[in-house]
Amino acid sequence: MSLLLLATTLAPGLAHSAPKTVLVLGDSLSAEYGLARGAGWVALMESRLKTERVDALVVNASISGETTAGGKTRLPALLGVHKPALLVIELGANDGLRGLPVPAAEANLRAMVGMAQRAQARVLLVGMRMPPNYGRAYTDSFFAMYQRVARELKVQLVPFMLAGVAEKSDWFQADRLHPTAQAHPTILANIYPTLLPLLTTTAR
């Protein structure tokens, strides 16, 4: 068999086996703030995917301090470079902590979902809650924002990233905002069951 024929024969199989890219667009909660490298939930997810022999490439584009506005600005270039099969949006916490208007954050989330869908990427939205000292009206509106976006734009949602973590004070760093390494396996456990089916059934 000639080299040309061999390459032609193998090319379809090689293309089919190309790993799917998972792009994580998040803030300090996904950027390993205050943690040793490899201790955050994104790195733990990457390790678990490898252990379970899921052919995926994880790109963590998270930045500490990121807002929904910042994510919306950065996303077009990230989609162009990485061409993800799955986009995980973990943003909004910094909008909430700064008391920014919920409608503005929601508009940014909707814009990011739309960008991803037009790029033929599936989307997983990761929700957050605000502490009660922000007031009942604001905290309820903020939490409902994620559910509304997910429902209306037909994307999957993890309702609360810190479920099972938020109530454990000893699982937070001294700033009382960022979870310790001990908490990140629980964070992954909140996200992984919703993420995995999206990745393993994505065509790209």
In the chain, domain spans: 20-200
pLDDT of 17: 58
pTM given for the model: 0.90
pLDDT at 191 over 90: yes
pLDDT at 107 over 60: yes
Over range 173-186, report the average pLDDT: 97
pLDDT at 1 over 90: no
Given pLDDT bands bounded at 50, 70 and 90, which one contains residue 3? very low
Over range 54-70, report the average pLDDT: 97
Over range 130-134, report the average pLDDT: 93
For the annotated catalytic residues, the residue numbers are 28, 175, 178
pLDDT of 14: 39
- Residue 69 CB coordination number (10 Å): 17
Which residues of 127-176 form beta strands (DSSP E)? 156-158
pLDDT of 18: 80
Given pLDDT bands bounded at 50, 70 and 90, which one contains residue 201? confident
Least confident of 15-29, 31-45, 83-97, 107-121: 15-29
Tokens 């949006």 belong to which residue?
A: 89
Fold of 20-200: Rossmann fold (3.40.50)
pLDDT of 31: 98
What is the chain's Cα-based Rg? 18
CA distance 153 to 113: 8
* Orientation of helix 41-51 relative to helix 184-200, angle to 10°: 50
CA distance 195 to 61: 17
Closest listed residue to residue 98, CA positions, set 124, 62, 69? 69
